[in-house]
Amino acid sequence: MLVYKHPANGLTYERRRPGSDPHWKIPVAQWPTVLHRIDQGEPLSEVAGEYGVSYEAVRRVLRAARQTRR
C-alpha cells in the first residue's frame, strides 16, 4: 500500500481502497463476469470503459484468469 504524506500539513492519503488487491484494477470477484462478457464477443475496450480502466488492464485480467484455469 502506498501512503503519501503531504509535507505542508502532515496529512496522509491512501492511494487504494481498503480491502482491494493493489495488483488488479478490476476486483478479482468480478473476473468471472469479465471473462463471460469477453467470451460472448464483447470488445475489450467496451468492458474497459464500463470498469473505468484501460484496455490493457482488461487484457491482463483475461490472461491471468485463463492461466489460473489450467
Q: How many domains does the chain have?
A: 1
40 lies in a domain? yes
Q: According to the model, what pLDDT value does residue 66 have?
A: 83
The residues pairing with 13 across neighbouring beta strands, listed in sequence order, are 4
10 lies in a domain? no
Output the pTM of the full model.
0.64
11 lies in a domain? no
One pLDDT digit (tens) per residue for the chain, 70 residues:
555 455 555 544 444 444 455 567 888 889 999 999 999 999 999 999 999 999 999 999 999 888 877 6
Q: According to the model, what pLDDT value does residue 19 have?
A: 44
14 lies in a domain? no
| Host domain of residue 62 | 21-69
Q: According to the model, what pLDDT value does residue 68 have?
A: 77
Burial label for 61, CB within 10 Å (0-12, 13-18, 19+), is buried
